[in-house]
Amino acid sequence: MQDVQSPIIPVVGDLIRAHPGTISLGQGVVHYGPPPQITQSVAEILSDPENHKYQAVDGIAPLRDAIGAKLKVDNGIELGPHRSVVVTAGANLAFMNALLSIADPGDEIILLVPYYFNHEMAVTMISCKPVLVPTDENYQPDLAAIEGAITGRTRAVVTVSPNNPTGAVYGHDMLREINGLCRRRGLYHISDEAYETFTYDGARHFSPGSIEGSQDHTICLYSLSKAYGLASWRIGYMVVPQRLVMPIRKAQDTILICPPVVSQAAAVGAMTAGPDYVRRWLGELGDVRRMVLEQLSAIGSYCTVPPTRGAFYFLLRIDTRKDPMDIVERLVREFAVAVIPGTTFGMTRGCYLRVSYGALEKQSVAEGIGRLVNGLNAIV
């Protein structure tokens, strides 16, 4: 545990609480709440005393059925004899379940840099080795670099698209090539798709689990935290090869026993609202995104924003030799705005800052970006 990095969100959160009035462009959540359909769904499940007892380790039937229908329509993934869905307490637990089911201590997991920090923490936590493979200047994967990083101890390649922390959306062809590489080399492809709904400017999300012949080596991870505003309810799910279901049940039963039933009921209600509920917010997020880019263009002489078309993040490249965490601390203390240092995502060469524009209303984001621009002008 000493080798596991401290989670950056609570660290920055402590800074924010110590400086009231700070606008946070840090944590990756949406500003809107869940659809109203969750109220009736929760009330119905609470009315049955049996639902106060433990339920199925891999999720209640109504939610599993709703997920199966969604996967078929939205992701092109058919469940059946070769793969199943397991409901989890968020996509983070789904990732940990996957690791515990496929890897032994000392095995290697390939992560693309910049990585999602909780992925790197989980790999380290179970005594496996994160093998870090850089992406290109636009945060897109390099297939040759991935293949060159494979050894006899490699167990999986992890992709996150749309990406946290960059907002990059990986193309269909690239994901097909990575998935095919995993199949040929006997590896698992772990595809984190928590931000699948959030794409802009014509970008389209693609699920590797829809590729023909992918069902035996592809693990897809999903979340209801982002699209449906259910972050604190902690519900996600994973689509896994059938042979991994029992190992995953062992892991989940030990860590969790079963996903919170009241939260699963809320998830059923949210999924009843369907993708139309999510789409109503995408236009607003797109407007906020364009506004952020426009404001950041004012510091284009030393701040590069690689073109990305997904999630609700930008990973800024700052032309300075100053330490990113020092900049983050000064931004909070002196300019009352919080961002996340790129070092926590594995960007140790150069100065990078992650900006999240999803958690606040447009006016608050505008004020926060204004403070960020003023702060960087003074600090850099």
Q: 151-184 pLDDT, tens per residue?
A: 999 999 999 999 999 999 999 999 999 999 999 9
In this structure, whether the domain defined by 8-34+276-379 belongs to CATH 3.90.1150.10 is answered with yes
pLDDT digits (tens, 9 = 90+) for 303-351: 999 999 999 999 999 999 999 999 999 999 999 999 999 999 999 999 9
Quote the pLDDT of residue 207.
98
* pLDDT at 209 (0 to 100): 98
pLDDT cut 70: percent of the chain above it: 100
Residue ranges, comma separated, of all CATH 3.40.640.10 domains in the chain are 37-273
Name beta bridge partners: 337.
Answer: 23
Q: Check pLDDT > 90 for residue 46.
A: no
pLDDT score at 45: 87
Residue 120 CA to chain centroid, in angstroms?
A: 13
Confidence at residue 172, expressed as pLDDT on a 0 to 100 scale? 97
The pLDDT value given to residue 274: 86
pLDDT confidence tier of residue 7, bands split at 50, 70 and 90: confident
Calculate mean pLDDT across residues 141-148. 98
The top-level CATH class assigned to 37-273 is alpha beta
- State yes or no: pLDDT of 291 exceeds 90: yes
Residue range(s) in the chain whose domain bears CATH number 3.90.1150.10: 8-34+276-379
- Write down the mean pLDDT value for the chain: 96
Is residue 30 pLDDT above 90, yes or no?
yes
- Given this model, what pLDDT does residue 215 score? 97
- Does residue 31 surpass a pLDDT of 90? yes
pLDDT recorded at residue 158: 98
The predicted model gives 260-284 an average pLDDT of: 93
